[in-house]
């Protein structure tokens, strides 16, 4: 089979990333050569491909679900907010521009050819491409020059599967309202619906599914149950609000880890591997007391190092960290957090800040200078300070760190020294190192020893746990989605005669180049006009057995 599909959602965090990954895994298990794609992603949680391109982390995880190597074509445009109303635009894996919200809208026309070229390249090399939308396709203020949702679907003639999260409430209104806000040309590509995170008796849900099918003429491809702990690496800092379960300890004690929650925190999935270990509690916090009392305090990565260093001081976290250093309590800094632990940070080119230089926390003998060219690499080496364990990671940074003392914690395969340790304070520029099982467990044994804790590591590799998660996602789709209907839409596209919900507006007619920007004012078709719906009319003669061909909404 060959084809493509766009998975859109009624809102952000509806489950688009997870469902796209699940479809990728289901198809990959069947021998289909499948690839993920997201035209435009906004995320501070990114990943570096083996050839040094930066893409959204969700697409890297979806590639793993598809059992292929991540590449830049899978996410040609990545937006990384770096300050209030300012975003770094990454194109084809490399920094391309800095933009505000308005100026970025003007860039979209130039970026659409880039997006379509990447999608076309994937379609040439793979049997199926599963595309993930962004936010909601009904964000009508952003429809013009849209890259990620219906603009992409129209330009590439992609069938669209519209996903709704029933756990949020308002499922039917969200699905119907999203469809109704689309122009007829956009609606024609929406092939059907999918329900996500359903809890309860399916028989109770069935009448609503049938009613919405009759109203819109679109089928439901399936209802996915709510499954505890099922998901991908989070990209949005809202994921930090969700409580993280603690696996029962194998020893007598739990290691408590506190991660400073910065305003522009990035790559916070670095710490998922720590939570994978039995008896490790991971909390993201703004509290100086929590940071001070934790067994391990962590300063994570950030897209705005100088700004978040100011925020850290404003919250009094600098005093907590200084006290930890005096008492010999373990403290870890990663990338931007590592840079904060040093003596000073210099940004002469205004890469991340308008300030030329700011003092660091002074807990490590390092200095950082920001440069325009971003470091993007996948280093490997050994953790010389931690039982000489093998370690690998990835780098995403403008800062160049120079060490003036202390001991390195890693040595690369090329013999270069990385990171710094002084007493119980350690830091590294490498993200992802905690996914290296041997290093992670050695680090935690060190923390337990420094704190006098009886802690025992687990024996399951983090990579194996990730792979098991991918299999669960594949099972979720295979067991709860109409496979034949899904494959038919991927291969053949949406049916030609899908009903269109028509709007008759009163006074709204936006003119662009002498023509209407939306064709919602067209008259209803021969099956009649319906301005109000109720249960008594679902099977009435005005609607018929297959639903209305046209539906007129008074606005």
pLDDT at residue 160 in the model = 98
- CA quadruple 247, 248, 251, 257: dihedral sign: positive
pLDDT at residue 555 in the model = 34
How many residues are listed for the chain in this entry?
555
- CA quadruple 315, 316, 322, 323: dihedral sign: negative
pLDDT at residue 514 in the model = 37
pLDDT at residue 269 in the model = 86
pLDDT at residue 180 in the model = 95
Distance CA 387, CA 366 (A): 24
Confidence (pTM): 0.86
Query: Which CA distances in Å does 273 have to 113, 119, 453, 474?
Result: 38, 32, 20, 22
Q: Where are the alpha helices (DSSP H) in 328-398?
A: 336-340
Domain architecture of the chain: domains with CATH? 3-40+63-70+109-232+468-498 (3.40.50.300), 251-457 (3.40.50.880), 500-555 (no CATH)
pLDDT at residue 85 in the model = 66
Closest CA to 271 of 60, 410, 434: 434
- The token duo for 19 is 């469902």
pLDDT at residue 233 in the model = 63
Angle of helix 462-480 relative to helix 57-65, nearest 10 degrees, comes to 70
DSSP assigned state of 356: S
pLDDT tens-digit profile of 487-526? 999 999 999 989 999 865 444 344 444 333 343 333 333 3
pLDDT tens-digit profile of 423-453? 999 999 999 999 999 999 999 999 999 999 9
Which secondary-structure segment (H or E) carries 7? strand 3-9
Distance CA 295, CA 324 (A): 10
pLDDT at residue 252 in the model = 79
Catalytic residue among 276, 398, 431, 503: 431
Contact at 8 Å (CB) between 147 and 40? Answer: yes
Residue 431 is among the residues annotated as catalytic for this protein = yes
Torsion of CA 66, 70, 76, 82, to 10 degrees: 120
Catalytic residue among 131, 335, 398, 420: 335
Question: How is 134-153 classified by DSSP, letter by letter?
Answer: -S-TT-GGG-TT-SSSHHHH
> Which stretches of the chain score pLDDT less than 70?
83-85, 101, 231-243, 503-555
Closest CA to 210 of 477, 531, 495, 539: 539
């Amino acid at each position: 089979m060959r084809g493509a599909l766009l998975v859109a959602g009624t809102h952000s965090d509806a489950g688009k990333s997870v469902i796209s990954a699940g479809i990728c895994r289901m198809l990959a298990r069947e021998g289909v050569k499948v690839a993920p794609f997201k035209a435009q992603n906004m995320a501070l949680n990114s990943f570096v491909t083996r050839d040094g391109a930066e893409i959204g982390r969700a697409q890297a995880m979806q590639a793993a679900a598809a059992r292929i190597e991540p590449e830049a074509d899978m996410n040609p445009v990545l937006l990384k907010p770096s300050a209030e109303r300012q975003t770094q635009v990454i194109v084809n894996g490399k920094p391309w521009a800095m933009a505000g919200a308005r100026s970025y809208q003007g860039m979209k026309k130039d970026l659409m050819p880039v997006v379509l070229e990447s999608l076309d390249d994937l379609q040439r090399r793979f049997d199926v491409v599963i595309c993930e939308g962004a936010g909601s396709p009904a964000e009508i203020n952003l429809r013009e020059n849209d890259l990620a949702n219906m603009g992409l679907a129209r330009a590439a003639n992609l069938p669209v599967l519209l996903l709704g999260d029933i756990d949020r409430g308002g499922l039917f209104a969200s699905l119907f309202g999203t469809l109704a806000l689309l122009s007829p040309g956009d609606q024609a590509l929406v092939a059907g619906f999918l329900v996500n995170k359903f809890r309860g008796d399916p028989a109770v849900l069935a009448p609503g599914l049938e009613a919405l099918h009759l109203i819109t003429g679109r089928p439901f491809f399936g209802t996915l149950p709510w499954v505890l702990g099922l998901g991908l690496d989070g990209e949005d800092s809202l994921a930090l609000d969700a409580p993280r379960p603690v696996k029962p300890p194998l020893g007598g004690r739990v290691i408590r880890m506190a991660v400073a929650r910065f305003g522009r925190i990035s790559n916070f999935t670095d710490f998922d591997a720590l939570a994978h270990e039995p008896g490790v509690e991971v909390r993201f916090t703004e509290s100086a007391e929590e940071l001070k009392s934790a067994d391990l305090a962590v300063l994570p990565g950030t897209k705005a190092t100088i700004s978040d260093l100011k925020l850290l001081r404003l919250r009094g976290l600098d005093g907590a960290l200084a006290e930890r250093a005096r008492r010999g309590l373990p403290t870890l800094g990663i990338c931007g957090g590592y840079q904060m632990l040093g003596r000073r940070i210099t940004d002469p080119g205004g890469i991340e800040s308008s300030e030329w230089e700011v003092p660091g926390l002074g807990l490590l003998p390092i200095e950082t200078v920001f440069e325009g060219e971003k470091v993007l690499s996948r280093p490997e080496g050994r953790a010389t300070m931690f039982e000489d364990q093998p370690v690998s990671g990835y780098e995403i940074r403008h800062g160049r760190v120079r060490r003036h003392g202390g001991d390195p914690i890693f040595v690369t395969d090329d013999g270069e020294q990385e990171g710094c340790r002084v007493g119980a304070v350690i830091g590294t520029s490498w993200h992802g190192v905690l996914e290296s099982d041997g290093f992670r467990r050695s680090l935690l044994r060190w923390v337990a020893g420094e704190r006098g804790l009886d802690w025992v590591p687990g024996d399951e590799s983090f990579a194996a746990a990730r792979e098991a998660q991918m299999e669960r996602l594949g099972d979720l789709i295979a067991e709860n989605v109409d496979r034949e209907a899904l494959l038919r839409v991927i291969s053949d596209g949406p049916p030609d005669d899908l009903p269109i919900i028509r709007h008759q507006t009163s006074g709204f007619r936006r003119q662009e180049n002498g023509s209407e920007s939306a064709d919602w004012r067209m008259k209803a078709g021969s099956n009649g006009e319906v301005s109000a719906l109720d249960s008594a009319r679902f099977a009435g003669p005005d609607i018929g057995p297959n639903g209305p061909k046209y539906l007129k909404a008074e606005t």
